[in-house]
Amino acid sequence: MVQYNFKKITVVPSRDDFIKITLSCTQRQTPTVVHKGWSISRIRQFYLRKVKYTQQNFHEKLSTIIEDFPRVDNIHPFYADLLRVLYNKDHYKLALGQINTARNIIGKIAKDCVKLVKYGVSLYQCKALKVAALGRMCTVIKRVGPSLAYLEQIRQHMARLPSIDPNTRTLLICGYPNVGKSSFVNKITRADVDVQPYAFTTKSLFVGHTDYRHLRYQVVDTPGILDRPFEDRNIIEMCSITALAHLRAAVLFFLDISSSCGYIRQICMKLVVEMKAEAMKTLVGLGEDPINDDGVLFTLSNLSEEGVMAVKNAACERLLNQRVELKLKSKKMNDCLNLFHVAMPIPRDQRQRPPCIPQAVLEAKAKKEVMTEKRKLKSDLENQNGGAGVYSASLTKHYILANDEWKEDIMPEILNGYNVCDFYTSDISQRLEEVEREGLVQEQDIGDDVDMEGHELTPEKQDDLISIRKMISSRIQQHRIKKSTAESRPTVPRKFDKDKKFTSGRMGRQLSALGLDPTMAINRACSRSRGRKRERSLVCGDSDGHDVMDLDVGQQPNKKLRARSISHSRSRSQPPSEVVVIPGDGFKDSAQKVKALKLARKSAKKRNKDARRGEADRVIPCLKPKHLFSGKRSIGKTSRR
C-alpha cells in the first residue's frame, strides 16, 4: 500500500492570485453596504467582520500549504534523501518557514486591527482601520511571493515522482547505462519506460508491478551508474544510490557481456563489488543485520525473451525467502505462536488412515479419464476437420423424426417476412385442402361497386362487410382526430390583418371600380366562411336537408339573417359518426371513449396554441427566477449570475 502520494498536494497560487482570491471571497461573502441610521456599534461590527473573515481566509490557505508539503524529518528516509538530492533541503525548509511566519504575522495584524476598531468613533475611522489592516495583510503576502513560486515548482516536480512503497516486496534494477534495464522492466511489467539506443535515457526512477505466487511485487527501474567517486556523481546517479541505500529489495545488477553498451566487463564487475560494499556499510550504519549473499549469475536476452521469466522468478523467490526468514527471527513470531492451537484427534481404533487419497478412488478416476479419451467430442471433430469456420457440427443429428432422411432437410424459419412457426398448426394440411376446395385463394376485386353494394353477397358476407366498413370508418376517424391534434401542426394564432382591412366590402368596391360584377365573388366568399354562428331560432332544416325560414317568428327576418341562412346552406356540419370501441382500447363503451377523446383534445389545445411540439419541450415556468436575479451582482453581465 502506497504511503506517500505527492500528487494530492494543493496547487500553490502566485502572490497576485493569492490576494485576488482572498479579497474577492471577502467581498462576496460579507455585506458591502452601510445603510443610513446605523449605530456606531453596528458599523464597528460591519468592519470587524470583514477583517476577521479576510484573516481567516489567509490562515486557512496558508495552513493548507504547510500541511500538504511533507516534512523531511517525519517521512521515510528514502523519500527524505530523495528530496535532499532533488532539491536543496535548506531552501525547502526556509520556504515553508516563511509561509508559517506570514501566517502568524497576518494573525497579529488582524488582532491589532480588532482592538483599534472596537474604539472607533466614526464610520471614516473604522473604514480607514479596515483598509489599513487588509493592505498590511496583502503586503505580507507579496513579501513571501518568491517562496510561494518556489514551493509551486517543487510541487510540480514532486507530482511527477513515482509512488514507491518502501515497505513492500521490491525488485531493484540497476547497472551501467544502456545495458537493457528499462527493456527488462517493460518485459516483466506493464510499465512503459522509454527505451533508446543511447546512454542515460532513463533520468529518474520508474515503477512497475508484477505478480508471483499470487503476490504483487514492485519493480523499480533506476538510472545508470558510472564507476567514479561519490562526490563526482550527478543528481541522476544519486537517485539510484538513494534507492540502493534505503529500499530493502532484491537488487538485480545488469551487465552487458558483449560490451556493446560502451563499457568493458572488468569495469562493470568492479562497480558491482563497490556497490555491494556500500550497501553493506549502509545497512550496518542503519543498525540492521546485513545478509551475506554472494549472488547468482543469470543470462538473459531481452530481444528473444530467453531467460527473462527465469530471472524474475528467481529474484522473487529469493526475496520471498529472505523476508520469511526475517519474520521468523523477529520477536513477533513468538507472540503469534502463542495464539495457535493444533488439535490432535484421539484414535478410535487401530486402523491406519493415512492422509492420502484411497487407491479405489484413484482407479475410478483413471478409468473415467480413459473413457473420456475414447469418446470423441464435438470439439475434437472440429479440430480434426479444419477447425472453427471450416467444420460445423450437425445440430439436427439427434432429432426424433419419422424418417431419418428428414433430419438434413432445410426448413425456412422466415418466409416473405413472416415467421413460419407462427402459422404452423397440427391440422395445417386439412385447412389448406378446405381453402383450395372453397376457392377462396383466388383474388377478389374488392373495389367493384356491385360487390360493395351487397347485391351479389350472401347474408353472412354482408354482415362481414358491414363490420369491416365500421372498423375502417373508426380507424379513419381516429386518424383524423390524431391529425387534428398532431404535434407537427400546431394551431398558431393569426398575426396579420388585425385591423380587418381586407373585407368582402373592400373587395366589392375594388371589383366595381374595375367594371366587374362583385355579387358572385362575395357570395362565394361568404359561403366558405365557417366562423359565424347561425341563429337557430330563425333557421331550421327540412327533411330534404335545405334551409328554410321559421314562419312562427312574429317579426319578418331581415336581409342580413336571410343572407346568413343562405350562406350556410353548404357548410352545415354532418352529424358525427358513431365511435366504435375496439377490443384492447381499454374503454367499456363508446360514451367513455368519446369523453376521453374530448379530454385529450382539450389538454392539447393550449400546447398547440403555444406552438409546442409536446410535453418534452423545454418549459420555462418562470422567466426570471428569484435565486438568479437577486442579491449582489459583480461587474459584467446581469442576465445570469
Q: What is the pLDDT of residues 132-191, one digit of tens each?
A: 999 999 999 999 999 999 999 999 888 888 888 888 899 999 888 888 888 999 989 988
Q: What is the pLDDT of residue 634?
A: 67
Phi (first) and psi of residue 227, to 5 degrees: -85, 90
Cα–Cα dist 236/360, whole Å: 66
pTM of the predicted protein model: 0.49
Longest CA–CA separation in the chain, Å: 139
Cα–Cα dist 54/138, whole Å: 10
Grid cell at residue 177: 547505462
- Alpha-carbon distance values, 626 to 33, 623, 629 (Å): 21, 10, 5
pLDDT tens across 113-129, in order? 999 999 999 999 999 99
Residue pair 477/577 in contact (Cβ under 8 Å)? The answer is yes
Q: DSSP string covering 139-190, please?
A: HHHHHTHHHHHHHHHHHHHHHTS----TTS-EEEEEESTTSSHHHHHHHHSS
Cα–Cα dist 41/307, whole Å: 84
Domains for the chain: give ranges and CATH numbers.
6-157 (1.20.120.1190), 164-332 (3.40.50.300), 451-484+574-609 (no CATH), 504-567 (no CATH)
Closest CA to 315 of 383, 376, 254: 254
Cα–Cα dist 223/77, whole Å: 20
Q: What is the mean pLDDT of residues 221-240?
A: 84
Residue 621 scores a pLDDT above 80 = no
Q: What is the pLDDT of residue 371?
A: 73
Q: What is the pLDDT of residue 279?
A: 61
Q: Is 541 helix (H, G, I), strand (E, B) or coil?
A: strand
Q: What is the pLDDT of residue 78?
A: 87
Share of the chain above pLDDT 70, in %: 78
